[in-house]
Amino acid sequence: MNLLLRNGILIDGAGRDGRRADVLVIGEGIAEVGVFEPPEGVRVIDCTGMVVSPGFVDAHSHSDLQVLEDRLEKVRQGVTTEVVGNCGFSPYPAPADPKPLREFANGVFCGDESWGWPSARAYLAEAARSPAVNVASLVGHGSLRIAVAGHRLGPLTAREMERMEGLLEESLTGGACGFSTGLMYAPGSSAPREELERLCRIVGRHEKIYATHMRSYTSGLVAAVEEQLELARRTGCRLQISHFQAAAASNWRLQRPALDRIEQAARDGLDVAFDCYPYVAGSTVLTQLLPQAALEGGREALLARLADPHERARIERETEAAFEWRWSDIYISAVGSARNRAAVGRNLAQLAAERGRKPVEVITDLLVEERAQVNIIAFNQSEENLRETLTHPLSMVVSDGFYVRGRPHPRLFGTFPLWLGTFVRERRWLSLPEAIARITWRPAERFGLKQRGRLEPGYLADLTVFDPHAIDSPATYEEPERPPVGIRYVIRNGKLQYSAS
Ligand SMILES: [Zn+2]
């Protein structure tokens, strides 16, 4: 049924001020914007006092598998499109035996032993039938590597390299909106520069985006930024730096010099931008704290190393030497087994005291006990730094959300309402139109989502209607699943997708 959204405050997604008007939705698209009498047979939705904006675009999500299900977590936040396939993890191209790909990505996908698609085209065909959101996908470098060389680290053979280039080419022509790397995750982390250059050149030729989880967000931040800027300069690809931040208190001072490099590159004409989530804590897998060489060969190989007292001591030494947080900054957020359920919500310092172990031994103990499947929440950032990135002219706001079997990071449930409520309405970090641009038109344009992200005739009717005085997220680290407030209606491709009763 066609819809008339009546008397709302329209904010167009491009940063312009709001104005009072009606929106007429016919079929999948926005037909007219203005003030008019409802034509025959349309359903009228009263939006008095509400903001009507383009549906929110979550440009950095790890819901690659969950977007295929009828889930509410993102829709309830006003999200109508998710960009998945981030940080090197995509659910394709799966090798004939998808086991190694699942082993590589399940910690981030919250997956099981049942998924895997041979190509971008096959995955996107299924994702196009998502009952919840529109899906765009980046093809992951880690997944490409697994497809040609499994869990092996280091340089690829000429033959493997050619196969990988072929798979990237096929993914981009098959509909992937770009390419992502996860240079802190094995095996992608072991790729030599030449490999990344050859791949980015292909991305550049397709004029698609290259999104990177860089080699370091801690003491190596500035060098990591420089590496990625140089890669983009040499290959001509458009660069998106994922979840930009300086992690761990001792590195907070590195954010400014890193931003200086990015700003200079942008002034020099490089097509570069970045994204951030509006929380001081991040979320990842516990194996991220290990030297990535310990992961060579996959999970079984890691567990075999940890079973050898000599190897285990070496891994612990290297982990401790590279650790830049306070032990109390790292919280366990998910474990697979019942025996460690009590560890969820506790930090490494607390667990060490309770167990009479060193914090680094808690890490290796948990990895052994949980067969390497443990998720963490890490308190990474300062609020000053967060403000600087979220309000930066080159930034956009994303969730970076992922599912875990335990207690997920609240960003999965609250990113967009929190951004518009706590940060924009209450703290006044940005104007509402500019804040909305960072979650609509800017990511849609950046990731090449056609006809989305703007509230204008001719665009697809993805619309979010919310109460600007109420919108917010009450989700906390302790109770992440508390649903957002203030979202009234979500319309996707012209259909009412969600309505708060
Ligand atoms: Zn990442």
Q: Would you write out the chain's pLDDT as a tens digit for each of its 501 residues?
A: 899 999 999 999 999 999 999 999 999 999 999 988 888 889 999 999 999 999 999 999 999 999 999 999 999 999 999 999 999 999 999 999 999 999 999 989 999 999 999 999 999 999 999 999 999 999 999 999 999 999 999 999 999 999 999 999 999 999 999 999 999 999 999 999 999 999 999 999 999 999 999 999 999 999 999 999 999 999 999 999 999 999 999 999 999 999 999 999 999 999 999 999 999 999 889 999 999 889 988 899 999 999 999 999 999 999 999 999 999 999 999 998 899 999 999 999 999 999 999 999 999 999 999 999 999 999 999 999 999 999 999 999 999 999 988 889 999 999 999 999 999 999 999 999 999 999 999 999 999 999 999 999 999 999 999 999 999 999 998 899 999 999 999 999 999 999 997
How far apart are the CA of 372 and the centre of ligand 1, in A?
Answer: 19
The DSSP-derived string for 180-249 is: EEETTSTTGGG--HHHHHHHHHHHHHTT-EEEEE-S-SSTTHHHHHHHHHHHHHHH--EEEETT----SG
Ligand 1 centroid distance, CA of 412 (Å): 14
**171-174 long-range CB contacts below 8 Å, 24 or more apart?**
171/90, 171/92, 171/93, 171/119, 171/120, 171/139, 171/144, 172/120, 172/139, 172/202, 172/203, 172/206, 172/208, 173/206, 174/119, 174/120, 174/121, 174/124
> Ligand 1 centre and the CA of 455: distance in Å?
30
- How far is the centre of ligand 1, averaged over its atoms, from the C-alpha of 38 (Å)? 46
pLDDT for position 413:
96
CA of 141 to the centre of ligand 1 (A): 12
Q: Kindly state the DSSP code that residue 336 receives in the 8-state scheme.
A: S
Ligand 1 center from residue 88 Cα (angstroms):
8
- CATH class of this structure's domain 1-84+401-501: mainly beta
Q: What is the distance between the alpha carbons of residues 24 and 494, in angstroms, rounded to a whole number?
A: 10
Question: What is residue 68's DSSP assignment?
Answer: G
Radius of gyration over every alpha carbon of the chain, rounded to an integer in angstroms: 22
Give the list of residues 6+ apart from residue 181 with CB closer than 8 angstroms, or none.
Answer: 87, 88, 140, 141, 142, 188, 191, 196, 210, 211, 212, 213
Gap between the Cα atoms of 335 and 406, Å rounded: 7
Residue 242 CA to ligand 1 center (angstroms) comes to: 6
CA–CA dist 389, 385 (Å, integer): 6
As a whole number of angstroms, the distance between CA 283 and CA 242 comes to: 14
The one-letter amino acid at 457: P
Q: Say if residues 6 and 46 touch (Cβ distance below 8 Å).
A: yes
Q: What is the pLDDT of residue 342?
A: 93
Alpha carbon of 461 to ligand 1 centroid (Å): 30
Instruction: Determine whether 129 is exposed, middle or buried from the number of CB atoms within 10 Å of its CB (0-12, 13-18, 19+).
Output: exposed
Cα 83 to ligand 1 centroid, rounded to whole Å: 13
- Residue 243 near residue 213 (C-beta atoms within 8 A): yes
Residue matched to tokens 């998710």:
82
How high is the pLDDT of residue 345? 93
Kindly give the distance from the C-alpha atom of residue 130 to the centroid of ligand 1, in angstroms, as a whole number: 24
> What pLDDT is attached to residue 407?
86
What's the gap in Å between 281 CA and the centre of ligand 1?
A: 13
CB atoms within 10 A of CB 109: 22
Whole-number Å distance, alpha carbon 86 to ligand 1 midpoint, is 7
User: The tokens of 272 are what?
Assistant: 């570069």
Domain ranges of the chain: 1-84+401-501, 85-284+380-400, 287-379
Angle at 106 between CA 63 and CA 332, to 5 degrees: 90
Cα→Cα distances 459→50, 56, 281, Å: 21, 14, 36
Asked if 254 and 387 touch (Cβ cutoff 8 Å), the reply is: no
The DSSP letter of residue 434 is: H
Same fold, 1-84+401-501 and 85-284+380-400: no
Residue 259 CA to ligand 1 centre (angstroms):
18
C-alpha–C-alpha distance, residues 75 and 176, integer Å:
22
For residue 200, the model assigns a pLDDT of: 98
Distance 243 CA to ligand 1 centre (A): 7
CATH class for domain 85-284+380-400? alpha beta
Strands 43-46 and 3-10: parallel
* CB-based contact 403:271 (threshold 8 Å): no
What number of other Cβ atoms are within 10 A of residue 369's Cβ?
A: 15
* Tokens linked to 351: 């667990």
* Sequential DSSP letters for 41-59: TPEEEE-TT-EEEEPEEES
Q: Ligand 1: distance of its center to the CA of 469 in Å?
A: 32
Q: What angle do CA 384, 387, 388 make, to 5 degrees?
A: 90
